[in-house]
Amino acid sequence: MTRTVYPVNVPEAALGRNSVELRQVVKVHGQGPTAVRVLDGVSWGFPRRTFTAVMGPSGSGKSTLLQCAAGLDRPTSGSVSIDGTELTTLDETALTRLRRDRLGFIFQSYNLVPTLTVAQNVTLPMEFASRPIPAGAVRNVLARLGLEQHTHTRPAALSGGQQQRVAIARALLGDPAVIFADEPTGALDSRAAAEVLGLLRGAVDSGGRTIVMVTHDPVAAAVADAVVFFADGRVVDVLHRPSADAAAARMARLADGFAERGGVR
């Protein structure tokens, strides 16, 4: 297949001031003739204390990008650093520790443990990591997320928006420098989505965190400081101070190009 050449390239000099940096990250799934190059040499920096949305056609590699950036998956080649720590050189134990101490994760499916209460779900990663939980921290984070009435409730009794707020509380309790979110509002109605997005925005503006969020929704993307557009395993465009309309227009253009190329990589 021919590969479209895109105009966007990050100058190497622009890298270095970022919380999360990817340099020439390649990820190949499978081997031989069936091998798929899911990430095709991604170089990108996510500046500290900013909120970046990642948009792109389904199958373009967004989740893989997030997994590699967050140290949940290892690139085939290239390097990733978080606040100056090179992930690709860490062994599994050190990588796990870095993830637990520095990073937070939020997924579309909430990933709560159904048999545990809200408070137990929120404290679980800290307990796994044997990290001390400061007195009052759980109550504070639940109050901040409007969940104080639900401390002892189990996830099944909560709405989708409430469950995602539990997942955010769980991420925030660990005081992460960076939060990675993969379609966090994908299963929510627009009102619950707006609440969740407001909480994430606050985690950047008041909490000083860095957020990288994959989303399909231009309205969600408009909450971010910038939208990075992804196609065929590469960054192909970026929009600063996005409006929902502008994000939607760029996505539509990208999807057209994707369909013209047969929707395959």
> Which positions touch Mg ion (CB under 5 A)?
62-63
Rounded to an integer, what distance in angstroms lies between the CA atom of residue 176 and that of residue 197?
17
**Cβ-based nearer residue to ligand ADP, 54 or 196:** 54
Q: What is the DSSP letter of 225?
A: S
Q: What is the DSSP letter of 111?
A: -
What's the min distance (Å) between Cβ of 44 and ligand ADP?
Answer: 15
Q: Write each residue from 9 to 28 as x if it is in contact with ligand ADP (CB under 6 A), else as -, in one continuous string.
A: --------------------
What's the min distance (Å) between Cβ of 68 and ligand ADP?
Answer: 9
**Cβ-based nearer residue to ligand ADP, 38 or 220:** 38
Question: Does 38 contact ligand ADP by CB under 6 A?
Answer: yes
Question: Does 218 contact ligand ADP by CB under 6 A?
Answer: no
Question: Does 61 contact ligand ADP by CB under 6 A?
Answer: yes
CA torsion through residues 88, 93, 94, 100, sign = positive
End-to-end CA distance of the chain: 8
Partnered with residue 213 across adjacent β-strands are 53, 181
Question: Does 263 contact ligand ADP by CB under 6 A?
Answer: no
Question: Does 215 contact ligand ADP by CB under 6 A?
Answer: no
Q: Could you give the angle at which helices 118-128 and 160-173 cross, rounded to 10 degrees?
A: 30
Question: Does 60 contact ligand ADP by CB under 6 A?
Answer: yes
Provide the token pair at 57: 């056609």
Rounded to an integer, what distance in angstroms lies between the CA atom of residue 78 and that of residue 206?
33
Question: In sequence order, what are the residues at sequence separation of 6 or more whose Cβ sits closer than 8 angstroms to the Cβ of residue 46?
Answer: 18, 19, 20, 21, 52, 69, 178, 210, 212
What's the min distance (Å) between Cβ of 228 and Mg ion?
Answer: 14
Q: Is 154 exposed, middle or buried (0-12, 13-18, 19+ CB in 10 A)?
A: middle
Question: Does 108 contact ligand ADP by CB under 6 A?
Answer: no
- Do the Cβ atoms of 212 and 66 come closer than 8 Å? yes
What's the min distance (Å) between Cβ of 224 and ligand ADP?
Answer: 17
What's the min distance (Å) between Cβ of 234 and ligand ADP?
Answer: 12
Determine the interface stretch with ligand ADP among 54-62, 128-136, 169-177, 240-248 (rule: CB under 6 A): 54-62
What's the min distance (Å) between Cβ of 262 and Mg ion?
Answer: 20
Minimal CA–CA distance to 246: which of 215, 219, 214, 212? 219
Determine the interface stretch with ligand ADP among 60-68, 81-89, 117-125, 245-253 (rule: CB under 6 A): 60-68
**Which one of ligand ADP, Mg ion, none is in contact with 123 (Cβ closer than 5 to 8 A by kind)?**
none
Rounded to an integer, what distance in angstroms lies between the CA atom of residue 183 and that of residue 210?
16
Binding site for ligand ADP (CB under 6 A): 29-30, 36, 38, 56, 58-64
